[in-house]
């Protein structure tokens, strides 16, 4: 039996014309999804990251504050300074265990200093797997902004 594949549309927050469509096998992890996003947006310098899954109906600041957080394995060693809880390890969280639904959205933050926020929409949860490696980038729209903008361009 072919393994289930999830399809996500990952857009840069505030730049909705820059997005990537990414397919991930159900048994792969959030860390695998992070690696695909990293490649899809042409990143070259590794940084810490977190995924945030807001509770249904949450709005405003509570949307992220009260969200389930899954982070880079290094982040799970220290408690969060605000909540006192340690985030869950993204490398141990398989996609299939997240109970994702089509049209559900969640968030991904790459680089806590420069804060590259992404909004992730679940497009499919039961796409058939094709032969080949996963995760895979299915489609790209818009050019990736440079990971570190040229400071001279701001002048």
97-116 confidence digits (pLDDT tens): 999 999 999 999 999 888 89
Confidence of residue 2 (pLDDT cuts 50, 70, 90): low
pLDDT band, residue 1 (cuts 50/70/90)? very low
Both tokens assigned to 95? 């996609």
* Furthest C-alpha separation in the chain: 57
CA pair distance 97, 139, nearest whole angstrom: 25
Segment 16-72, tens digit of pLDDT: 899 999 999 999 999 999 999 999 999 988 899 999 999 887 777 778 778 899 999
d(CA 74, CA 49): 10
Place of tokens 């549309």: 9
**Centroid of chain to Cα 70:** 10
Tokens 């991930």 appear where?
24
Report the pLDDT value the prediction gives residue 151, as an integer from 0 to 100: 66
Residue 83 pLDDT: 61
Is this prediction's pTM over 0.75? yes
Write down all domains in the chain, each with its CATH number in brackets.
Answer: 4-154 (3.10.290.30)
- pLDDT tens sequence across 79-101: 665 566 788 999 999 999 999 99
**Confidence check: pLDDT of 154 > 60:** no
Q: Given this model, what pLDDT does residue 87 score?
A: 86
For residue 53, give the nearest of 15, 109, 6 by alpha carbon: 109
Distance CA 39, CA 140 (A): 11
């Amino acid at each position: 039996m072919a393994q289930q594949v999830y399809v996500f549309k990952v857009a840069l927050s505030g730049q909705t014309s820059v997005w990537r469509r990414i397919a991930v096998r159900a048994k792969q992890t959030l860390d695998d999804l992070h690696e695909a996003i990293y490649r899809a947006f042409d990143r070259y310098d590794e940084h810490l990251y977190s995924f945030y899954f807001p509770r249904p109906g949450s709005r405003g600041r509570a949307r992220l504050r009260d969200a389930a957080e899954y982070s880079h394995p290094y982040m799970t060693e220290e408690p969060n300074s605000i909540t006192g809880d340690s985030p869950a390890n993204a490398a141990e969280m398989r996609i299939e265990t997240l109970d994702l639904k089509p049209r559900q959205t969640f968030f991904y933050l790459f680089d806590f200093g420069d804060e590259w926020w992404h909004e992730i929409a679940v497009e499919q949860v039961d796409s058939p797997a094709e032969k080949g490696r996963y995760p895979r980038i299915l489609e790209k729209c818009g050019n990736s902004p440079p990971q570190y903008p040229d400071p001279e361009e701001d002048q």
